[in-house]
């Protein structure tokens, strides 16, 4: 296994992180990220400096990783990783597509609950025993990951799941935090593919892939920028007594805006989810033209059976309710939750096809479909 993270990174993850050491933060290189607000990748002469903004901090502190190919640089930093990595365990489906798209599927050796994987190439590796299921009912199977001893684990939160991973950190397995879900723009989230590209020493290929996604996204966006008739859009569902909708400054809200829609909570400045009462949602969205993102429901009947109040919305009555269920395999794995976050251009085209079906020549959606009666 490559050089492990220093004991300092264990301290950072367990007790909070601090700002990068002066001797390393004072060294400036070429910034490779353009849209991301949570990830910075600087290319130095012979290494990369990666900084992930701490989501639990109010002082812009970050986790710092130094990724080097040959000799470890003589600087002070919190963590060092030699690249290209040879093995990785990822904990979210959104982490998987960059590996397969960059031709590095064989780098993946573990994933919790492999039945959630949609990609057919990765499923073949699962069936061959090349990608182990490291999940258990309450999270990650620590013992199984210990047996695999990957070069790194790509995690996605600092809550209880990070607490659960402490034994792996003590064993010297590096953990990189991926907070792509906190980005406030679709291209910002898609740009996280560059992190994987650097880890597998395929930055040029990853950058080229992102540029093609960016160009496709911006071209689609330009087609609806001057549209004056912007249909109103509601989203989300009730869980218990709470209706969750994306904040107005989230990447989900940005999709609707860039697709020529009027998101009803666009005035809100939050990047995460809003917790609302049914009454407040009904008051604001009862007459919405579209309801996009009704979780995994496949029919209006199924949606109404879960809560008959859903039928009070005009979008329900007019059968304008859509969900991201078009690409779901027999095991229930959903490709929108896998490739959709990287392929922001495909998702935007879906939104445009729903909101303005005459704009694009190809009106076939990739991820979204209308809920049948």
Mean pLDDT computed over 102-122: 97
pLDDT for 163 equals: 75
Other C-beta atoms closer than 10 Å to the C-beta of 226 total 7
What are 27-47's pLDDT values in tens digits? 688 999 999 999 999 999 999
What is the spatial distance between Cα 337 and Cα 314, in angstroms, rounded to a whole number?
27
Per-residue pLDDT at 124 exceeds 90? yes
DSSP-derived secondary structure for 208-263: HHHHHHHHHHHHHHHHHTT-----EEE--EEETTEEEEE-TTSHHHHHHHHTT-EE
pLDDT for 164 equals: 83
Q: How confident is the model at residue 109 (pLDDT cuts 50, 70, 90)?
A: very high
**Quick one: 100 exposed, middle or buried, by C-beta within 10 A (0-12, 13-18, 19+)?**
buried
Q: What is the pTM of this model?
A: 0.90
Q: Which residues contact 5 (CB under 8 A, 6 or more apart)?
A: 79, 80, 81, 169, 172, 174, 175
DSSP-derived secondary structure for 142-170: HHHHHHH--SEEEE--SSHHHHHTHHHHH
Helix, strand or coil, per DSSP, at residue 292: strand
What are 350-363's pLDDT values in tens digits? 999 999 999 998 67
Q: In the chain, what percentage of residues exceed pLDDT 90?
A: 77
Distances (CA, A) of 364 to 130, 133, 256, 327, 350: 35, 34, 18, 13, 8
pLDDT for 138 equals: 74
What are 174-204's pLDDT values in tens digits? 899 999 998 999 999 999 999 999 999 999 9
Q: Where are the domains of the chain?
A: 7-85+152-211, 225-370
Per-residue pLDDT at 260 exceeds 90? yes
pLDDT for 12 equals: 34
pLDDT for 166 equals: 85
Fold that domain 225-370 belongs to in CATH: Rossmann fold (3.40.50)
The better pLDDT of the pair 172, 328 is held by 328
Per-residue pLDDT at 24 exceeds 60? no
């Amino acid at each position: 296994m490559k050089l492990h993270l220093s004991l300092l990174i264990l301290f950072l993850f367990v007790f909070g992180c601090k700002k990068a050491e002066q001797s390393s933060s004072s060294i400036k290189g070429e910034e490779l990220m353009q849209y991301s607000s949570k990830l910075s990748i600087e290319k130095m002469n012979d290494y990369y400096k990666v900084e992930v903004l701490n989501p639990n901090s109010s002082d812009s502190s970050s986790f710092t990783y130094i990724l080097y190919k040959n000799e470890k640089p003589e600087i002070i930093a919190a963590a060092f990783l030699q690249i290209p990595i040879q093995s990785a365990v990822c904990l979210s489906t959104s982490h998987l597509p960059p590996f397969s798209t960059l031709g590095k599927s064989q780098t993946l050796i573990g994933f919790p609950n492999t039945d959630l994987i949609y990609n057919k190439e990765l499923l073949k590796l699962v069936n061959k025993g090349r990608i182990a299921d490291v999940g258990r009912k309450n999270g990650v199977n620590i013992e199984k990951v210990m047996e695999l001893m990957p070069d790194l684990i790509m995690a996605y939160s600092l809550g209880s799941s990070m607490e659960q991973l402490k034994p792996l950190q003590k064993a010297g397995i590096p953990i990189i935090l991926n907070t792509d879900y906190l980005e406030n723009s679709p291209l910002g989230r898609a740009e996280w593919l560059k992190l994987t590209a650097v880890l597998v020493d395929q930055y040029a290929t990853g950058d080229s892939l992102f540029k093609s996604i960016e160009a496709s996204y911006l071209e689609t966006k330009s087609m609806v920028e001057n549209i004056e008739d912007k249909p109103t859009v509601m989203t989300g569902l009730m869980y218990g007594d709470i209706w969750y909708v994306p904040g107005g400054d989230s990447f989900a809200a940005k999709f609707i805006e860039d697709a020529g829609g009027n998101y009803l909570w666009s005035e809100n400045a939050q990047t995460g989810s809003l917790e609302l009462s049914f009454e407040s949602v009904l008051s604001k969205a009862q007459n919405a033209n579209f309801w996009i993102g009704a979780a995994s429901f496949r029919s209006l009947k199924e949606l109404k059976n879960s809560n008959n109040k859903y039928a009070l919305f005009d979008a329900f009555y007019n059968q304008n309710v859509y969900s991201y269920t078009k690409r779901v395999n027999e095991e229930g794995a959903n490709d929108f939750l896998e490739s959709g976050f990287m392929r922001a251009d495909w998702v935007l085209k879906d939104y445009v096809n729903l909101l303005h079906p005459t704009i694009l020549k190809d009106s076939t959606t990739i991820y979204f479909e209308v809920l049948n009666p």
